[in-house]
Chains A and B, each alone.
Chain A
């Protein structure tokens, strides 16, 4: 057992390494303030104000289920900061791989899983202010969005967990490419993934082909889980479905990430 491991064995050593990786990302974020904090905030806020106002008349369609478009959009909007501002720590990972810091971490005996957890934990934490602001804006504009305190906490937790799950994809790309540009190039992926989900519109209002894709899209299950708390009418089965979807999504990508990490050695 290494001296480091002897000093901080087992779960404590793992947690300490994850915390140090989180803390490092927090320090890095201070020097890349706009990318770390402004990027996840501005596009979602613009979406729930300007975009929702411009396209709000869709709510007048007969099949539209909510009293206003703001009511429909609130659930998906909370998840947007994690997608529109993704890739911050993945860029750092690629820089580490390219610059040799990833090797230094290995030489220090730092658990790759703990370092990844710490990084993604920061990705989750940094979307919370944006998610909270987006939720606040949504509550102010919508007619029937009044989540309870527990519902608000659940929504923010879901937003953070989804941000982590979404960022695993960015880490996978960073790990494969070792290029800081690669995860940044992946950012626009949020557009097709959200358009072909129930973030913007109910599936029933989409063309047939898009409706099928939206129903199969994992993001739709997560949005529907979030919608349970924005409407205040919580169906545990729908919430469980959303959580299970995130878990499955994460598990598949984490296994792929671990395989790439092993191959690199």
Chain B
């Protein structure tokens, strides 16, 4: 280990704005902020639920206010970005071999999208029914 590691000087706040793929990388990384914030909204909801109907209904009103809806729309956009970026690297993250041959990446990715659609529809039907 060197005593004084070299750190290449880069503009710390803006380096990722100059190239499309760096920007997409940072959008992908930023999805965690929205997923974390949405988790916090769910946790607060559980806590309000425990405080009774009045507290829970007030929470629902906040979630369903224009500001609450705006937050959820932004969170949804980032969550979808997370989903697509996550699925699209699955052939690299977990390459599959079947009968001595590499399973084509498109097949692995496609299977994830189909599974995603099935899970989402099942949940929507279960909750809405």
Q: Do A and B bind each other?
A: no
